[in-house]
Amino acid sequence: MSAEAALDHGHAEGHDDHADGHDDHGHGDLVENNYMKVPNIKLAIWTFLGSECMFFGSLIATYFFYHEKSITGPLPQEIFSIEITSISTFILLMSSWTMAMAVDAIKQGKTGRTVNFLLATAVCGTVFVSFQVYEFWHFYHMGLALQTSLFGSTFYTMTGFHGAHVSVGVIWLLIMAIMVKKGYITGEKAYSIESGGLYWHFVDIVWIIIFTFVYLLEFAKPLSDAVK
Amino acid sequence: MSAKLHTIEDIESPPPDMHFERGLKSGITDWLTTPDHKKIAVLYSLSGFIYLLVGGLEAILFRIQLAVPDNNFMGGDTFNGMVTMHATTMVFLAIMPMTAGLANMLIPLMIGARDVAFPRLNAWSYWTFLFGSLVLNFSFLHPGAGAPSAGWFGYAPLTGPEFAHAGVDYWWAGLALLSASSLAASINFIVTILNLRAPGMTLFRMPVMIWMLLVIQFLLALAFPPVTVGLILLGFDRMFGTLFYQVSMGGDPHLWQHLFWVFGHPEVYVLILPAMGVVSEILPVFARRPLFGQIAIIFSGIFIGFVGFGVWAHHMFTSGMGPVADAAFAATTAIIAIPTGVKIFNWLGTLWNSKLSFPTPMLFALSFIPMFTIGGLSGLMHASPPLDLQQHDSYFVVAHFHYVLVGGALQGLFAGFYYWFPKVTGKMLNDTLGKIHFWLFLIGFNVTFFPQHILGNNGMPRRIYTYPADAMWGFENMLGTAGALIMGSATLIFAYNMFVSFKKGEEAGNDPWDACTLEWLTTSPPHVANFEFTPIVLSERPVWDHKYTDGHEIVAPDKSESFHMPSYSWKPLIVSSCVLTIVLGLLLNTFIPGSYLWGLSVVGGVGTVLGVYAWVTEPV
């Protein structure tokens, strides 16, 4: 293969945007040979989310490993309030919509609108966490502590780590809002808002799984027992 | 082999035009604030090597206890502490950081990048690793407790609050910090390898070393979270009285075993694959021919990475999982022997009928093959549940994993140290001292561990701190202790060699081994921006082809290239210290209950948030 042909081969595999990403600010230079056509930060967040899947996978697996293995009560059916958790779930899911709107706004370069939607997302996240704090307080007073039973240990740990992730997400959103406000993030760096958005949507999806398998299925159970 | 057409020194390039946002510091401040992957590589390698000496010392101490029957050099508790710390240190604080050192040095150099994708995150990974290792080793100084003594696998319920002292608190907290460090490093390296390759460096033009490092980064990113969860649950049991491993309340110790080995087995490949990468780089250079079946070696590595996630429960055959699980895990375990065999035959194919030379890196790479094969074959025996039931918890297993991890992983790393030391420092390691190191180490290693196969088959169990004379295990154990001392002296000779060679070794030049890959294109030690110009890659062996293939010359551009370089930053060290403060708050609150010292964790948390804000708004 001649040198030129060999180079063309290299180009064919995606190196042709060699010159495009070349700016003189920030990490710009380090992304110049962007083979994956994904900004570094976004690729990093995707990788991180892969790792997070294993993290929550292990926590949820632990919950199922000990499902119905508790030797003392209270049982999930006795203390869960499906109405309250449904409301907080709805609020968290709606925050994914405001997040998507924030990403859309920054892509159009509308920074004011971006800040507003980021703050709205943060408010939804905070409301969700507040519901969770109330729920924990309520369950605690109904006799379920971290040390009461395997259900208490696994439930509080799993949902607690999810709540911690939402809280980290809220801090992340606030930092992004300040950075947009102060001009650190502009329309050209929309991918950094998008990366934060990836994390936020991921945390939402984890909640959908937890809500379905932990809350809804517990409520389906007495019904199916009755049918039997 | 044709004559050289060009040399690396022939390439004339104008000096690059580098600009920094804030520049770099000098002296000790530089080491604390550096974003430079080459300096961080040196920090990782040196820390790893120091911990190798510490772990080796721990091994020698408990080998002295085992040298003769009915010995009372140390008691059972101290012995357990030494064994636990030896294994934890060697796996997490010696081999992994030395691998991280190689990865940091080689990934940008071999793919033609100027640094990693996130230079400050790279520094954060190092400091967090260092703090985690210090937390772990601080357990020796804890009043009234001492080192963790529940084994490196930390089986529940041995680690529970009712059986284990404060050593285990340091153990889980230190490992949790190390897992955060590994996660950050793995993300960083994955992005670097996928996004920052030089023009023309397609995925399958990457050196085998880079492929193996890429595979282990995925293993680290995906395998560490389960053990992190396991460690957190353990910490909760110890701090807050949760019931995860409390059998009396329905808890099941198998939960820990699964979470640990889901991590633990991919971890084995994290330790061995980089060594395989090193061997795949070194053999072709000293056999003077391309690597035989390079693509097969790469795909074998990828395959090992995938299947590595499906074999963990072969560590648990004796826990009574039932015939279906036993058969499934026996099959997946046996399957891994196939890609491993492919690699070994390809290495032999590279060596076959070629003209070999034998400097020290080649000796280590060559001895890797038979030593690793012995360990691999005894490992394959464990894939069979009936055999495993016999060998489980015997010295046969000890012999097996030391052949893979010392004869394999550590010898591979030694080979890498000898091979790349000239690139890092500009000085050759002394070859005579290197050969003394090699032969002493190889002899000491085999004297220690080969008899342990026999010991195991004669029934000596692992983890016992002494044994009666009439068990007839004394001779092999005395050999083991003598061999450990020989390995220890060999390693000290290596330390001395690095010291003298660094001070007044022979000058290396750019390309001392007449090698193939891109790191030999630049000066030794490398230019601050790694390369004076961005190299254009035309084949798997750019530097070799430059020298020997007509039409594949590397040509420098006429005018200076302009590089934007990362500047010094205190933020990684600050954020890492804040994360350490969170962990210290939790530990202190466990040791002095009701003291409100968890307030430290709150301070650390707030500090982390502020530090991250300062980090992301810092101009780089």
A205-226 pLDDT per residue, tens:
999 999 999 998 877 765 545 4
Range of the domain at A176: 38-227
Is the pLDDT reported for residue B25 higher than 70? Answer: yes
Tokens coding B374: 């012995």
Question: Of B340, B481, B522, B608, which is the active-site residue?
Answer: B340
Chain B neighbors of A31, CB-CB under 8 A? 117, 195-196
Touching check for A106 and chain B: CB below 8 Å?
no
Mutant choice from A29, A51, A155 vs B, greatest count of B C-beta within 10 A:
A51
Q: Is B181 a catalytic residue?
A: yes
| B8 confidence band (pLDDT: 50, 70, 90) | confident
Touching check for A5 and chain B: CB below 8 Å?
no
A152 shares its domain with A108? yes
Q: Of B253 and A217, which is predicted with more confidence?
A: B253
User: Cβ A153–B183 below 8 Å, yes or no?
Assistant: no
Q: What is the mean pLDDT of residues B7-16?
A: 86
Q: Is B19 a catalytic residue?
A: no
pLDDT at B1: 52
User: Cβ A33–B199 below 8 Å, yes or no?
Assistant: yes
Touching check for B602 and chain A: CB below 8 Å?
no
Instruction: Choose the closest CB to B242 out of A24, A69, A157.
Output: A157
A21 shares its domain with A98? no
DSSP state for residue A29 in the 8-state scheme: G
pLDDT at B159: 93
| B2 confidence band (pLDDT: 50, 70, 90) | low
Touching check for A62 and chain B: CB below 8 Å?
yes
User: Cβ A149–B243 below 8 Å, yes or no?
Assistant: yes
A32 shares its domain with A57? no
Question: Of B182, B300, B350, B522, which is the active-site residue?
Answer: B182
pLDDT at B591: 92
User: Cβ A71–B195 below 8 Å, yes or no?
Assistant: no
Give the pLDDT confidence of B204-245 residue by residue, as tens digits: 999 999 999 999 999 999 999 999 999 999 999 999 999 999
Chain A neighbors of B181, CB-CB under 8 A? none
Tokens coding B351: 């060596």
Question: Could you tell me the CA-to-CA distances from B432 to A153, B93, B411 in Å, in that order?
Answer: 60, 29, 17
Mean pLDDT value across chain B: 94
pLDDT at A26: 36
User: Cβ B620–A48 below 8 Å, yes or no?
Assistant: no
Q: Is B115 a catalytic residue?
A: yes
Instruction: Choose the closest CB to B118 out of A44, A52, A70.
Output: A44
Distance of CA B591 to the CA centre of its chain: 32
pLDDT at A18: 38
CATH of the domain at A173: 1.20.120.80
Question: Could you tell me the CA-to-CA distances from B29 to A154, B43, B131, B225, B526 in Å, in that order?
Answer: 46, 14, 18, 34, 21
Question: Of B343, B382, B541, B571, which is the active-site residue?
Answer: B343
| Cα–Cα dist B395/A82, whole Å | 55
A119 shares its domain with A171? yes
Residue A159: count of CB within 10 angstroms of its CB: 21
Asked if B550 contacts B526 with a C-beta cutoff of 8 angstroms, the reply is no
pLDDT at B514: 94
Q: How far is A51 from chain B (nearest CA, A)?
A: 5
User: Cβ B617–A179 below 8 Å, yes or no?
Assistant: yes
Touching check for B6 and chain A: CB below 8 Å?
no
B537 SS3 class: coil
Mutant choice from A7, A9, A13, A33 vs B, greatest count of B C-beta within 10 A:
A33
| Cα–Cα dist A21/A38, whole Å | 11
Among A15-19, A78-82, B351-355, the least confident range: A15-19
Residue A227, C-beta contacts closer than 8 angstroms, at least 6 positions apart: none
Residue B281: count of CB within 10 angstroms of its CB: 28
B contact residues 25-54, partner A, Cβ 8 Å cutoff = none
Give the pLDDT confidence of B588-598 residue by residue, as tens digits: 999 998 889 99
Q: Is B36 a catalytic residue?
A: no
| Cα–Cα dist A195/A206, whole Å | 17
Question: Of B44, B126, B152, B172, which is the active-site residue?
Answer: B152
Touching check for B563 and chain A: CB below 8 Å?
yes
B248 → chain A, closest CA residue:
A71
| Cα–Cα dist A214/A181, whole Å | 39
Q: Is B84 a catalytic residue?
A: no
Count of structural domains within chain A: 2
Instruction: Choose the closest CB to B222 out of A43, A50, A184.
Output: A50
Instruction: Choose the closest CB to A150 out of B191, B249, B552.
Output: B249
User: Cβ B191–A43 below 8 Å, yes or no?
Assistant: yes
B560 SS3 class: coil
| Cα–Cα dist B132/A131, whole Å | 35
Instruction: Choose the closest CB to B222 out of A18, A54, A66.
Output: A54
Instruction: Choose the closest CB to B229 out of A1, A9, A59.
Output: A59
Q: Is B340 a catalytic residue?
A: yes
Mutant choice from B564, B565, B615 vs A, greatest count of A C-beta within 10 A:
B564
pLDDT at A220: 72
Q: How many residue pairs from chains A and B have C-beta atoms closer than 8 A? A: 165
A74 shares its domain with A183? yes
| A14 confidence band (pLDDT: 50, 70, 90) | very low
Q: Is B343 a catalytic residue?
A: yes
Residue with tokens 């059998």: B247
Domain ranges of chain B: 38-514, 570-620
State percent of chain B over pLDDT 70: 100
Question: Of B25, B254, B462, B527, which is the active-site residue?
Answer: B462
Q: What is the mean pLDDT of residues B546-566?
A: 88
Q: Is B254 a catalytic residue?
A: no
Among A150-154, B247-251, B334-338, the least confident range: B247-251
Asked if B245 contacts B237 with a C-beta cutoff of 8 angstroms, the reply is yes
pLDDT at A222: 58
| Cα–Cα dist B120/B568, whole Å | 9
Asked if B238 contacts B172 with a C-beta cutoff of 8 angstroms, the reply is yes
Among A165-169, B23-27, B93-97, the least confident range: B23-27
A16 shares its domain with A84? no
Question: Could you tell me the CA-to-CA distances from B613 to A162, A178, B117, B508, B603 in Å, in that order?
Answer: 23, 10, 19, 44, 15
Q: What is the mean pLDDT of residues B139-156?
A: 91
Question: Of B265, B400, B437, B453, which is the active-site residue?
Answer: B265
Tell me the one-letter amino acid at B48: G
Longest dimension (CA), chain A: 77
Instruction: Choose the closest CB to B242 out of A18, A27, A153.
Output: A153
A contact residues 30-59, partner B, Cβ 8 Å cutoff = 30-31, 33-36, 38, 40, 43-44, 47-48, 50-52, 54-55, 57-59
Chain B neighbors of A36, CB-CB under 8 A? 194-195
Q: What is the mean pLDDT of residues B50-62?
A: 97
Q: Which CATH class is domain B38-514?
A: mainly alpha
Instruction: Choose the closest CB to A35 out of B195, B226, B564.
Output: B195
A219 shares its domain with A184? yes
| Cα–Cα dist A91/A84, whole Å | 11
| Cα–Cα dist B299/B303, whole Å | 6
Q: What is the mean pLDDT of residues B455-484?
A: 95
pLDDT at B299: 97
A167 shares its domain with A208? yes
User: Cβ A36–B203 below 8 Å, yes or no?
Assistant: no
Q: Please state the three-class secondary structure of B402-443 as a single string.
A: HHHHHHHHHHHHHHHHHHHHHHHHCECCCHHHHHHHHHHHHH
A5 shares its domain with A67? no
Question: Of B36, B58, B237, B267, which is the active-site residue?
Answer: B267
Mutant choice from A25, A27, A34, A58 vs B, greatest count of B C-beta within 10 A:
A58
Q: Of B553 and B127, which is predicted with more confidence?
A: B127
Touching check for A225 and chain B: CB below 8 Å?
no
Give the pLDDT confidence of A58-112 residue by residue, as tens digits: 999 999 999 988 888 888 888 888 899 999 999 999 999 999 999 999 999 999 9
Q: Is B527 a catalytic residue?
A: no
Q: Is B539 a catalytic residue?
A: no
pLDDT at A225: 53
